[in-house]
Amino acid sequence: MADKDVVRTLLETTQHIFDVAQTARDLDDTPREFALALRPDGGMHFIMESPVSIEGAASYAGARAVWKIRSSRQGVSVEGRDGNSAILLREAGISLLRDEPRYRITSGLPTSCAISCGMGAGGASAFPILLA
């Protein structure tokens, strides 16, 4: 198979795995990390419950094509390798709900001078938002 075909197949397969990982994460946001190896005989080998590098997974399973899947509330990533070709698909998620506020509103209103010059008395910022 030509290099271009290997890359195209790797990209398509990685995209399919990525889509499945996103769907699974949407149903259950328990953090997961595992590897999927495609053996030379066409069988699939999953390496679960054990942190492993993508190179280690390929070596352990005797596979040429291997994918490392990570899924959590923060996002999904799938790294795929086939021979010398590699691809990484990553979704960066952000958590909108936090246990603690990102900022705190204080009492006091800025004066017209403070608004026009951006400073309050003593050179302090006049705006009533403090970063936590």
Q: Tens of pLDDT along 11-65?
A: 999 999 999 999 988 888 788 899 999 998 989 999 987 788 888 888 888 898 9
Rounded Cα distance between 53 and 57, Å, is 6
Asked if 95 contacts 73 with a C-beta cutoff of 8 angstroms, the reply is yes
Cross-strand bridge partners of residue 85:
82
Q: If we measure between CA atoms, which residue out of 78, 65, 3 comes closest to residue 39?
A: 65
Model pTM?
0.65
Phi-psi region of 49 (alpha: psi -120 to 50; beta: other; left: phi over 0): left
How far is the C-alpha of 123 from the C-alpha of 121, rounded, in Å?
Answer: 6
Name residue, tokens 């400073």. Answer: 119
Q: What is the pLDDT of residue 126?
A: 42
pLDDT given for residue 119 in this prediction:
43
